[in-house]
Structure 1
Amino acid sequence: MNPRPRPPSGKPLGFPTPPSAVLPPRGRATGRVLVVGGSEEYAGAPYLAGIAALRAGAESVVVMAPEQVAWAINALSPDLMTRKLPGRWLSRAHERAIRRMMKTADILLVGNGAGVLPGTAALMRSLMLSPLPKVVDADALKVLRGNAVRNAILTPNAGEWALLEKNNDIEKLLAAKNVIVRKGPATAILSGTRTFIVRANEGLQKAGTGDVLAGMIAGFLAAGLSPLAAAKKACETGNTVADILTKKKRGYHFLASDLAGELVSFSSGKSGKGAA
């Protein structure tokens, strides 16, 4: 058999430069995100969060939601896996199935579009006690009581922040190594005794953009960033993408789905992994 002809450089012909030679490293390959949310009224929230998590670096995303919500998500995206739970709302009856799935997940994202019915609230409070790294968003923030959450990134808007302050001790939440992303015209990221202020594009006040932010944070966590680094990078990335969309649309006319669709997957990098 004749040997493969070689160019003067000595490299075999016919083999283009592999992608790994020109692209940044992907980071660890075990970033599995579990999204628990959705209800009869809010099917879009867990979809937006799940897509954002994938684009931010998660290797896979499973959404556990009431069955009609899960079917709707399947119709919206072939990239998201779903587990269909019986009924129209989440409840404690679903906890055993959810905890089984949590054993295969690296990151938990809870609250998006879940609603605050008593059974749903009880389920979310129980799930938030898990030691799994987690993002607590939307309706899960509304029902959080007594500082009973650790190893979490909390992402309240102004109304959710008011409830968080009323029902919990913010200093104790921060002392428990949680990070809080207080969304607003100037977003504040709280970690321990430190506060970081991040500019927020005005278009990010639209409904659904918070679900995209929560998904990005979960995705960056899954890619290996520390909680603080993931929160910072998600806020900065969201602003950058919103600025791009503002120019494209000639104003703040973009939707949360536009934001999720415009996201690109950024390398997590090594520098953020050790950030406290």
Structure 2
Amino acid sequence: MKKATPEVILFKKEHASRLLPSVSTDDNKASRGRSLILGGSHDYPGAGILAARGALRAGSGYVMLAQKDLVVSSLENPDFLVKDLRGSSLSDLNFDAVLIGPGFGVNDYTAELILELKTKNFPNVVLDADALTTCVDFKLFPLPASWIVTPHTGELARCLKVSVHEVTKDRLAAIKKARQLFQCVVLLKGHGTLITQGQEIFRIASGNAALAKSGTGDVLAGMITAFRAQGLKPLEAALLGAYVHGATANLWVQSHKDALSMIASDVIDSIPRILWRLRQG
């Protein structure tokens, strides 16, 4: 891979193509992976839906959106399963990878779920949004090495206890500090998304300002969860998810649509085209 700087490796289309999950005539919905989305709440019902739809578009055979007090309807969202967690526990659910955080709330319950997954050494976990703030408030760092965190600049600043300006002015230094804190795969969202597992830092060669819209990060987190559920390694899932996510924004502007107008649902709708392009090599 070409190095963007002496410290950073540029991750491009040809690299993403090699990571794409294979498609076989022997596939069934179980073999495509089961993704559990712990997201959404009364205050932010859409976040979990966007993440679940992102996971579906990224190929997960089963997607379940689970909440403590269910605020979404299966009639309005027939493509994925919904589950009310009242009276249930994670051990009652069947899943290969789990996302915690988008719109889920910063509270004791979120902390309990994260701690449960840590205690049980469940390997395929993605933490985003409220889950990251929960880790700060409840002092849950460090995390297992196989987990993935997906902070934006503001969230990372909160985790590192520094200003947003300090993260923005030196993103390389920030992601190195984040890796020391989290001890897992770190994906720093923003212009020139950066990803590291410790030894190397990758910059994603896709994406533009069209992604600067609420909800797009929820879609990304769902996509990464789906790739983990399908068997990709943590770093691979983060790299592929980030590249595809960025490529949807490139496709948007290439289709003569203004960067200001893209919304999270447009990202979801663009995923099939990007995956098709990658599979064609």
Of 88, 103, 111, which aligns to 1:122?
111
Following superposition, the deviation at residue 42 of structure 1 comes to 0.7
Q: Deviations over 1:90-109 (max 9, x none)?
A: xxxx6x523321xx211011
Among 235, 244, 255, which residue is 1:248 paired with?
Answer: 255
How far is the alpha carbon of 1:250 from its aligned partner?
Answer: 1.9
Partner of 2:72, secondary structure, is helix
What SS does structure 1 have at the residue aligned with 2:35? strand
2:58 is aligned, of 29, 49, 56, to 56
Deviation at 1:146, TM superposition (A): 4.2
Partner of 2:95: 105
1:261 and 1:30 map into 2 onto residues whose CA distance is: 20
| Higher RCO (C-alpha under 8 Å, 6+ residues apart) | 2
Query: Given the alignment of the two structures, is residue 196 of structure 1 paired with residue 196 of structure 2, yes or no?
Result: no
Q: Which of structures 1 and 2 has the bigger CA Rg?
A: 1
**Higher deviation after alignment, 214-223 or 141-150:** 141-150
Q: Count residues with an aligned counterpart.
A: 229
Match of 2:141 among 126, 130, 147: 147
Q: Distance in 2 between matches of 1:97 and 1:128?
A: 11
Aligned to 2:18: none
What secondary structure is seen at the aligned counterpart in 1 of 2:221? helix
| Alpha-carbon spacing, 1:70–1:138, altered in 2? closer, same or farther (3 Å) | same
Tell me the equivalent position of 2:235: 228
Corresponding position: 1:134 with 2:125 = yes
SS in 2 for 1:189: strand
What TM-score do you get using the length of structure 1 for normalisation?
Answer: 0.75
Q: Which residue of 2 aligns with 1:273?
A: none
CA distance, structure 2, for counterparts of residue 37 and residue 141 of structure 1: 13
Q: Which amino acid aligns with 1:153?
A: I
Is 1:44 the equivalent of 2:46?
yes
Asked whether the equivalents of residues 135 and 154 of structure 1 are also in contact (C-alpha less than 8 Å), the reply is: yes
Query: TM-score with structure 2 length normalisation?
Result: 0.74
CA offset digits 1:150-182 (Å, max 9, x no partner):
121100001111122239x734456x4x21100
CA contact under 8 A between 1:153 and 1:231: conserved in structure 2? yes
User: Aligned partners of 1:31 and 1:63: how far apart in 2?
Assistant: 14
Alpha-carbon RMSD: 2.5
Matched, 1:82 2:82: yes
Cα offset, 1:249, TM superposition: 5.5
Structure 1 CA distance for aligned equivalents of residues 256 and 130 of structure 2: 31
In structure 2, the CA distance between the partners of 1:146 and 1:115, relative to structure 1 (3 Å rule), is closer
Aligned partners of 1:57 and 1:266 also within 8 Å: no
- TM-superposed CA distance for 1:68, in Å, is 4.1
Q: Distance in 2 between matches of 1:141 and 1:202?
A: 24
Per-residue Cα deviation, 1:127-169 (whole angstroms, up to 9, x for no partner)? 45142211111100111124242121100001111122239x7
Cα offset, 1:46, TM superposition: 0.9
Q: What corresponds to 1:205 in structure 2? A: 212
- Asked if the contact 2:210–2:262 (Cα under 8 Å) also holds between the matched residues in 1, the reply is yes
* CA 205–124 in structure 1, closer or farther in 2 if over 3 Å, else same: farther
* Post-superposition CA distance 1:72-113 (Å, at most 9, x none): xx2432111011234xxxxxxx6x523321xx2110111111
User: Letter of the aligned partner of 1:250 in structure 2?
Assistant: K
Whether contact under 8 Å (2:70, 2:83) holds in the other structure is: no
Secondary structure at the residue paired with 2:50? helix
Q: Which amino acid aligns with 2:161?
A: K
Q: What displacement does 1:122 show?
A: 2.8
Cα separation, partners in 2 of 1:159 and 1:75, compared to 1, 3 Å: farther
Percent of aligned positions with the same letter in both sequences? 32
Counterpart AA for 2:185: V
